[in-house]
Structure 1
Amino acid sequence: MAEGDRRPDLAAMLGGLMRRLMAAEAPVLEEHGLSMWGYVVLSALDDGPVRTQAALARAIGADKTRIIGTLDKLQDAGLISREPDPADRRVRVLAITAEGRARRRSAQKQIQAHEDELLAGLSDEDRAAFLRAARALGE
């Protein structure tokens, strides 16, 4: 790479953006009575029930022992259910409740409204390219 072609590492470039996004999300999540991990769990369950806590932990990139407290809080708040699997009573199927779905979607709507304000500084073409790239690299 030539001297003039140097660029910061991706983590350095995206770190400031991530801090800015998380700082904007924090009050929205608090307003909705959600932690960041709670929001992540509800988002994963909004796609459909998950058969085990271990499967959920893998899906969201968390240690299964780390999310137990989050699951307890979400269940106590009526945002998720953990029901015995009819095929194997030792297993708990995790699902989002109607209240959990409504709360998550309301929070997401506010979060994405802020993101839209942030992305408004980009041309339509750059915005579409950025969103495509973020989706592709995030998978």
Structure 2
Amino acid sequence: MRRLMDAEQPLLRAHGLSMWAYTVLTSLAERPATSQLVLAKAIGYDKTRLIALLDELEHDGLIVRERDPADRRAQTVRLTPAGEARHAAAKADIRKMENELLAGLPRDEQRTLRTLLTKLAHPE
């Protein structure tokens, strides 16, 4: 897993993203228009530090934050079209790198490895 993460770093930098920024974009791609608190919990990130990260992503035009109509104290976060495009491009590059890295394994072992890594990264 560490080897994959190390290999992802330069790819993410090429897209102007940190690992945490990519994690936020990925979470929002999976669960659009979520609250900041739910987002922090979903990605395992300190909610007080999340604000600065969201500020950067919003400044770059990748997300928007809006007042939650159901709770005026809360804000929802969602991807912009630019955020969707940047996430998709970074994800495609990461998938290509993973495919090259795992090319020596049979397809069923590649699937098993990806499944296990996902479970390790996102325990329920």
TM-score by length of 2: 0.89
Alignment of 1:54 with 2:33, yes or no, is no
1 CA distance for matches of 2:114 and 2:8? 18
* Aligned amino acid, residue 104 of structure 1: H
Q: Please tell me whether residue 127 in structure 1 is matched to residue 101 in structure 2.
A: no
* Match among 20, 29, 53 for residue 12 of structure 2: 29
Q: Determine if the alignment matches structure 1 residue 117 to structure 2 residue 85.
A: no
The 4+ residue runs of structure 1 with deviation greater than 2 A are 131-139
Aligned residue for 2:76, secondary structure, equals: strand
What is the TM-score normalised by the length of structure 1?
0.80
CA RMSD of aligned residues (A): 1.4
CA distance in 1, matches of 2:45, 2:25: 14
Q: Matches of residues 1-139 of structure 1 in structure 2 within 5 Å?
A: 17-18=1-2, 20-47=3-30, 48-51=32-35, 53-137=36-120, 138-139=122-123
- 1:92-111 CA deviation, whole Å, 9 max, x = no partner? 11111110010011001001
- Indicate the percent of aligned positions where both proteins have the same amino acid: 46
Q: Distance in 2 between matches of 1:123 and 1:134?
A: 17
Between the aligned partners of 1:36 and 1:100, the Cα distance in structure 2 is: 15
Residues paired across the two proteins, number: 121
The one-letter amino acid of 2:113's match is F
TM-fit CA distance, 1:35: 1.1
CA distance, structure 1, for counterparts of residue 20 and residue 9 of structure 2: 11
